[in-house]
Chains A and B, each alone.
Chain A
Amino acid sequence: MSTDIALNIVLLSLMAITGLAIARLRNLFPVAMLTGLYSLLSASLFTLLDAVDVALTEAAVGAGVTTVLFLATLGLTRAREKAVPRSRTAIGLVVTVLTGAALFYASLDMPHFGERHTPVQDHPLRERYLETVQEEIDVPNTVTAVLASYRGYDTLGEVTVILTAGVGVLMLLGVARNRRREDDDDQEPPR
């Protein structure tokens, strides 16, 4: 347990340092790399918290895909951030501090880390989800069962959102420029 706490402290400090470094840097290429590092650190944190599903997603999307998309975009635009006048940074600082204070205040209402009696543990639905699932669906991974079966409608909606996002990006960026290259594709059978 104590090694867990030590690892948590190390990871959270590294995340804070990475965040500060991102805020200070002007050149956006290292910023993109550091956001990838930040995602990797939070993925490690999720693994420590036994949220391996979230860690997988964070590592693949946050550290992998998003970083590459950032870099690809920076290849097209300017990679240096414009200097912001002092007055505007002051406003930014105030907004950040206020938001941070509000979030910190809200976090006081949350149950303590590792506490026994929390809504997650005591709520009647816990039994429904964690125990009845094994009779009704009989798969060890309750998360999959809940997402795909009990919340099947939600997940269908999410998949549709992903498809819609892809269609949107293709319509905005893809069509005109791809037309020429699509002719290349035509010459060979798909797959």
Chain B
Amino acid sequence: MREHTVLRLISKLLIAPIILFALYVQFHGDYSPGGGFQAGVTFAAAIILYTLIFGLAEARRAVSPRLLRATAALGVLIYAGTGVYAMLAGGNFLDYDFLAHDAVHGQHYGLLLVEFGVGLTVVSTITLIFYVFAGRGRRGDGARR
């Protein structure tokens, strides 16, 4: 790993902007192209880049698979929970009009929450799948070849 100095330096410079861009795509998705899925895969791509450069063990220490397994389910829970909350507030399942006093505001909250759920599940699932694939080879850095 030591020998790839250029790769390591460039990746270090790139990973933070990629994550920032993913967050932008996530939370600005109502105004610009993108949304939860795009943000999730972009974020996962950043984690995968980190894994390729610094090895699987380092990546698992930074983003633990156990946490990812929880967040993967949590994303769907947030999504479905938003729907259930709308029901409790007097509407139909996933009817965001009832999330706030004003219907349009409710829709905004609904979109934000639901997209966050999507993003969380996507980034967790894709990273988990990659961890599993990468972990099946040599221990530590199965994907580096």
Interface, chain A (partner B; CB < 8 A): 52-53, 56-57, 60-61, 64-65, 68-69, 71-76, 136-141, 143-145, 147-149, 152-153, 155-156, 159-160, 162-163, 165-166, 169-170, 173-174, 177-178, 181-182, 184-185, 188, 190-191
How many Å lie between the Cα of A71 and that of B60 in the bound state? 19
Residue contact B37 to A141, C-beta cutoff 8 Å: no
Q: Choose from B64, B104, B115, B126 the contact partner of A138 (Cβ within 8 Å).
A: B104
Q: CA of A61 to CA of B35 in the docked complex: distance in angstroms?
A: 14
Cβ-defined contact, A75 with B32, below 8 A: no
Instruction: Please tell me the size bucket of the interface on B.
Output: 35 or more
Interfacial chain A residues near B117, Cβ < 8 Å: 159
Q: Which of B35, B125, B143 contacts A148 (CB 8 A)?
A: B35
B contact residues around A52 at 8 Å (CB): 33-34
Query: In the complex, what residues of B have CB within 8 A of residue A69's CB?
Result: 129-130, 133
Check B61 against A155 for contact (C-beta < 8 Å).
Answer: no
The 10 closest A-B pairs by CB, nearest first: A166-B125, A52-B33, A60-B41, A139-B30, A152-B94, A56-B38, A72-B143, A190-B67, A64-B45, A72-B133
Q: How far is the CA of A106 from the CA of B130 in the complex (A)?
A: 37
- What A residues does B76 contact at CB under 8 A? 156, 159-160, 163
Q: Which residues B52-101 have CB closer than 8 A to chain A?
A: 52, 60-61, 64-67, 69-70, 72-73, 75-76, 79-80, 83, 93-94, 96
Considering the chains assembled together, what is the distance between the CA atoms of A177 and B133 in angstroms? Answer: 11
A143–B111 Cα distance when bound, in Å, is: 11
Assuming the A-B contacts A56-B25, A141-B29, A174-B132, are A156 and B94 also in contact, with contact meaning beta carbons closer than 8 angstroms in the complex? yes
Q: Which residues of A contact B108 (CB under 8 A)?
A: 137-139
